[in-house]
Amino acid sequence: MANEKIAFISGANRGIGLETARGLAKKGITVLIGSRDKAKGEAAAAQLKKEGSGNVEAVQFDVNNYDDHVRLAKFLGDRFGRLDILVNNAGIAIDDVDFSNPKGFNTTSTVPMAKLRQTFDTNFFAVVALTQALLPLIKKSPAGRIVNLSSVLGSLALHADPKGDLANFKAFAYDASKSALNAFTIHLAAELRDTNIKVNSAHPGWVKTDMGGPSAPLELPEGGKTSIELATLGADGPTGGYFHLGQTLPW
């Protein structure tokens, strides 16, 4: 176990998180799947093992339950003594939007404060809290990697372009939460720049998932590629960046 990498992925019993788990496990990494419903997590882990995807285990974990953060840190510390890879994958999108509307949408003046707070609680505050809880273990890794699942919708530069693809598509709660998450990536990477830990934001693409919907152009295998790549960067890889399939995105 000393030479085997250990990864934890939040919200990984389905969708992009599960695809990321599949890809990392195939690389010989021990993957812990965080799932609010442990039975669903165990079913996902069993499926990956059946496929021959390596050492995968489910952990009951709710990113919004900060007691779970404490329990997870203790479990990882007692069992492995460190954490090599953290993929902050869990997230929600609860804005009332219709991506099929060619005229687009803008929820900025209408989003209920309750939805704005709920979105930030999951997509930003919980991610920061979990990362802070696990950082002491990541610092014990010879090559720590933190991947924050963002979105192109978090790009302020792209949203500010009146002629760009995002000009008429603004789900304020979701977009703002991902912009804040990108700020966390930049700030944490700067704090850790003299260490062996790399911190990056990943845009998986618009993927056919429960969140992305059936109209999304990308299939799941494509959706997991960016997270897998950033989770397994070599020593010469980037930190403090924002990427999609190897391409740098504007903040």
* Choice among 20-24, 141-145, 214-218 with the minimum mean pLDDT: 214-218
* pLDDT above 80 (res 112): yes
- For residue 233, give the CATH number of its domain: 3.40.50.720
According to the model, what pLDDT value does residue 223 have?
Answer: 72
**79-97 pLDDT per residue, tens:** 999 999 999 999 999 999 8
DSSP state of 125: I
> Which residues lie closer than 8 Å to 95 by C-beta, 6 or more apart?
107, 111, 115, 119, 171, 172, 173, 174
**Token match 């850790």: residue?**
192
Which SS3 state, helix, strand or coil, does residue 147 take? strand
Q: What is the mean pLDDT of the chain?
A: 92
Cβ(202)–Cβ(243) below 8 Å: yes
According to the model, what pLDDT value does residue 208 have?
Answer: 47
Share of the chain above pLDDT 90, in %: 86
Residue 87 lies in a domain: yes
Residue 190 lies in a domain: yes
According to the model, what pLDDT value does residue 209 have?
Answer: 52
Number of independent structural domains in the chain: 1
| C-alpha–C-alpha distance, residues 53 and 32, integer Å | 13
Residue 110 lies in a domain: yes
Residue from 247, 205, 204 nearest 227 by CA: 204
The amino acid present at 231, given as its one-letter code, is A
Residue 189 lies in a domain: yes
Higher local confidence (pLDDT), 98 or 55 = 55
* Choice among 32-41, 96-105, 139-148 with the minimum mean pLDDT: 96-105
For the residues 42-69, what does the mean pLDDT come to? Answer: 94
Residue 140 lies in domain: 6-248
Higher local confidence (pLDDT), 102 or 228 = 228
Residue 1 lies in a domain: no
According to the model, what pLDDT value does residue 67 have?
Answer: 98
**203-229 pLDDT per residue, tens:** 997 654 555 455 554 565 577 899 999
